[in-house]
Amino acid sequence: MVNEHKVAGYENFKSFMKDFKSNGAAINILFTGEKDKNGVSWCPDCVSAEPHIKNALEKFADKNSHFICVDVGDRATWKDMNNPFRKDKDTHLMVIPTLIRYKHPQRLEGEQLEKEDLLEMFFNDDD
């Protein structure tokens, strides 16, 4: 089973990644909007993508890989153009949801995360 982790906020994300040991396994990171007490994100695109991503994780992701779900904050925090997730050279987010392979070129954004063929390519691409 894929190793799943949850992190909320930029500072927590940076701290988590600084000490994270993947033991050579792929690190896939999903950036998504904060969820309410019912587990539903304020971001409708994130809500639409979630079941597709979960399905792809089960079907295509390497069982030794890591999947980190990062909460970028509430709507106001995300919409701030000075949001550090937008400016960080390792994340450089423009939209959410965004799925990246950490420190590699693989990236899917927005509606791309609702397409099974793209998710399969993402999770099966070893570089």
Task: Judge whether 43 counts as a catalytic residue.
Answer: yes
CA distance 66 to 5: 8
The residues near 118 (Cβ < 8 Å, ≥ 6 apart) are 108, 112
Q: Which of 26, 27, 46, 100 is catalytic?
A: 46
Question: 111: which 2 tokens?
Answer: 């509606």
CA distance 40 to 34: 8
CA distance 118 to 41: 23
Q: Which of 27, 43, 56, 61 is catalytic?
A: 43
CA distance 99 to 29: 6
Active-site positions read: 43, 46
